[in-house]
Amino acid sequence: MKLLAFARRQITAVPVLAVFIAVFAWGIGPLLFLAPKISMNSILFYRVLFWPPLLYLFVRRNGSRLNKGLLKSVFVPGVLFGTSTIFGFTAITSTSIANATIIGTISTAIILFVAPKYLKETVSKVQIILALTSFAGVIAIVIGAGNTGGSSLYGDFLALMNAILWTFYFISSKRRRVDGVDTWQFLFGVSVIQVCVVVPYALITSNDILEISWPDLGFLIAMTLFSGTIGHSFMLWAQKYVDASLTAMILLLCPVISSAGAWLVYKQEISLTQMIGGAVVLASLAGVVRLSGSAKNSQELLSTADPLLNSNS
């Protein structure tokens, strides 16, 4: 029996490692975003254009045929996703990475307040209390940050708007997703609508789109391939073998990795109050996931941890 248990541990170790790799890839996404020298709106322009062709290759690789009604079915989620992208990208350049990523995670808590009405899901009183606690942690982060580490109330507000828009996207995508459409097809459809929303905005507001350098292009490709492709590929594979509750817990490391990386690479300071507030937020969300009624809900509640889908990379 001990030998059998050891063998099982060895088998499950690889999928868990894949989850950690995905989380690391997503965690450094915001760091890659700050590296190019061109403006944020120009980065937006190229970033959203790179994604659909890559997703289309994944759809074809899986042998799927695009559903004729796909774009119509994902129109509303796509518009919300595109708008969230604008707020999310702008937040990272307007406040600290620590604030932007941790505030962005409270979409998990916001979803709890709308789940009973819009998703017909049961939420416990303890989960509501934990969600409110996470909001208190966010307030501590904002107050404790002051003007250190590039933090600003304007950027924090943008991060909050991103979280709210992502919540609406989450609800819309869950209610409208076409039956039988796999993950890659759905993401492809959303990415096409995202282009229609973001590209006109970027063209109107940016003045250096044609000034992209080779190093900038390299960083943009790295965002798409590493944070996007590697992160999603490893996570999608691992989800078949790793419990959703465990995956959701590991996903909470994303803002920790982003914040630590911002401190190391960009010298963005993190105050003690911010660290305490961040710990409160992540611990509260961990409790929310732990108390989730099902493995599926545990996974979905923290799907926002991926900065690619949460518009931050």
- Map out the domains of the chain as residue ranges: 39-305
Nearest to 80 by CA among 176, 152, 202, 157: 176
DSSP 26-66: HHTHHHHHTS-SS-HHHHHHHHHHHHHHHHHHHHHHTT---
pLDDT at 247: 67
Nearest to 232 by CA among 17, 16, 14, 21: 21
Output the average pLDDT for the chain: 78
Q: What is the pLDDT of residues 146-178, one digit of tens each?
A: 666 677 889 989 999 998 998 888 778 776 554
- Percentage of the chain beyond pLDDT 90 is 16
pLDDT at 243: 66
Q: How far apart, in whole angstroms, are the C-alpha atoms of residue 175 and residue 130?
A: 25
- On whether the CB atoms of residues 239 and 119 are closer than 8 A, the answer is no
Q: What is the pLDDT of residues 114-133, one digit of tens each?
A: 766 666 667 778 878 887 88
Structure tokens, 203: 């063209």
In which band, very low, low, confident or very high, does the pLDDT at 194 lie, cut at 50, 70 and 90? very high
Distances, alpha carbon 289 to alpha carbons 35, 45, 245, in Å: 33, 35, 7
Rounded to an integer, the average pLDDT of 264-271 is 84
